[in-house]
Structure 1
Amino acid sequence: MTSVVYPKLIRGFCNPKSLRRWEIGVRARLPDHYKQRKIRIAKAIMNGADTPVHYEKEPGLWKEGHHPDTVLPVQNRPIPLIFPAEADQGLWGGEGIIKGYVQRRHRAARAPKIWVPHFREAILYSEILDKHLKITVTDRAWQLIDDAFGLDSYILQTPEEDLNSNLALKLKQRMLEALMDKSLYPNDAEKREKIYNKYKKYITYSREEVEWLGLSEEEAIEKQEELEKQRSKPRPLKEIFTEELIAKLKIGEQ
């Protein structure tokens, strides 16, 4: 018999109280699409809306109890997972670290136990980027990449709450930028069109959304502060007068 204790998530981003920080300070001034995406991912993980990996969801609302003529409510409570910093540097495929207790014999004392995914170093090829990448993956992520017939399809078609990795989002950003700019295979026009047509259905983001897609929270804050610094920087009068003169000349030509 195994009993699991529900620990506090290491990623404060998944703590309900931490969602309010997006309404304070520089975080409140980040682009709405960036904040909404981060909050959506956090809520999905907290509420178990991401794909279940470590448990199976029971169907329906009620189930038969242990005693005759009794019914119990179905409670699909997700198992809280621990995601260390290393999770952002690899592809874990929805797996995480579970901290709990195991009871090996009836009435025996429970012993603490930590369940850790099995990892491997994999060399993965990206068709869009035309590069081989050395990435730490779990067995499940390896299987999901195989099921998707390649790294590109896995990264582009998997919901962000299931990717749950900064590395995955940065790869997604680079892939989408290459597709939008059509900068893939610059020396092979035929292959460029072939790969572009294969993956163009995933271009469902705006240019600005892609620009912010692969940024971690710290990187997004740094970018926002730099943008605000540039906006508040006074412009030389020479530039302003030059622009006004050009505008007047254009009107005169019309």
Structure 2
Amino acid sequence: MTSVVIPKYITGFVNPRVLRRWRVGIRARLPDHYRQRMYKMEEDNQEGRATPVHYENESGIWKPGRYKDTLVPVQNRPIPVIYPAEADLGLWGGEGIVKGFVKRRETAPRAPKMWMPRLRKAVLYSEILDKHMSITVTESALLLIEDAYGLDNYILQTPEVDFHSNLALKLKAKMLETLMDKSLYPNDQAKREKIYNKYKRYVTYSREEIEWLGLSEQEAIAKQEAIEKKQAKSRPLKEIFAEQHLKDLTEKEKELTLPQKDNTPVESQSEPAPSTFSRLTSWGKKR
């Protein structure tokens, strides 16, 4: 059972400020393919374009009303769903936390209630990665994987807006990278060609897009900052002065630790002072 934390985002509400942030600051300097993909994903989440999970779309324009001989318009409005941070660590199949009200009796006042997804651990196998993975899933995710005939097809063919999981994006990036490099099954050439021909239709991304595909927003910002810092030609003066000062201190420390050499000529060296014993033994000698 997951704990309720500050939600990552809530679907069903259109907030222009959330979309505007991709046009200013460091987010506007991210690669175009990454920025456009994240912008479209957030826009689809807010406008409810993802595949319905907690409700069913009704067809038509009108439907029978509550009372006899009445019609009401069909309104396919998405139910607001909360996706906590724990959703990034598993495959929930689009499920999330739903807040609402429930009436225990017809005459009783309604009471608030939260519907939580039922989570469980499952071991899933990937043909492309040739690995068994223990992942937190829901029953909906297992049914979607079964309908797609395997984890690989589910990850590669499902629209990204339906994942609501960073783990799914990282798996997708890893699978596409493995297919592009043809690094699957290095010891079995026949099986490598068979699996590659089975999933090669999904390799429609460039290498740069695959590198940025599995990155979250914070990871992408950190990567962009590192790239800009590496490409910057000028350095702050405080860094240059600090580096020079550290170099000077290191040289002085080496000079103090090394033994000093005596460069005095042999001819100019003065004779050592006579000891007390030599003065006593030389007393009375004829000069």
Superposed pair shares fold, TM > 0.5? yes
The match for 2:164 is 164
Q: In 2, distance between residues paired with 1:120 and 1:233?
A: 51
Q: Over residues 112-171 of structure 1, what are the superposed CA-to-partner deviations in whole Å (9 max), with x where a residue is unaligned?
A: 211111111011111101111110001100111111111111100111011121000000
Contact 2:10 2:46 in 1 (8 A): no
Contact 1:13 1:42 in 2 (8 A): no
- Paired residue secondary structure (2:83): coil
Q: In 2, distance between residues paired with 1:145 and 1:192?
A: 23
Greater relative CO, 1 or 2 (CA 8 Å, sep 6+) = 1
2:88 maps to amino acid: D
The match for 1:56 is 56
Contact 1:11 1:83 in 2 (8 A): yes
- Paired residue secondary structure (1:205): coil
1:57 maps to amino acid: N
Q: In 1, distance between residues paired with 2:93 and 2:127?
A: 20
The match for 1:110 is 110
- Paired residue secondary structure (1:118): coil
The match for 1:139 is 139
Q: In 2, distance between residues paired with 1:172 and 1:181?
A: 14
Say whether 1:221 aligns with 2:221. Answer: yes
Shift of 1:207: 1.4
Q: In 1, distance between residues paired with 2:63 and 2:26?
A: 48
Say whether 1:10 aligns with 2:7. Answer: yes
**Structure 2 stretches of 5 or more lacking a match?**
1-5, 235-287
Decide which structure has the larger Cα Rg and report it. 2
Report the CA distance shift for 1:134/1:196 in structure 2 as closer, same or farther (over 3 A): same
Shift of 1:222: 0.5
Q: In 1, distance between residues paired with 2:61 and 2:157?
A: 30
Say whether 1:208 aligns with 2:205. Answer: no
- Paired residue secondary structure (1:101): strand
- 1:237-252, aligned counterparts within 5 Å? none
Shift of 1:191: 0.7
Count, aligned residues: 226
The match for 1:3 is none
Bigger CA drift: 70-79 or 81-90? 70-79
Q: Over residues 155-214 of structure 1, what are the superposed CA-to-partner deviations in whole Å (9 max), with x where a residue is unaligned?
A: 001110111210000000000000001011111111110100000011111111111000
Report the CA distance shift for 1:138/1:12 in structure 2 as closer, same or farther (over 3 A): closer
**What is the aligned-residue identity percentage?**
65
**Structure 1 stretches of 5 or more lacking a match?**
1-8, 235-254
Bigger CA drift: 15-24 or 47-56? 15-24
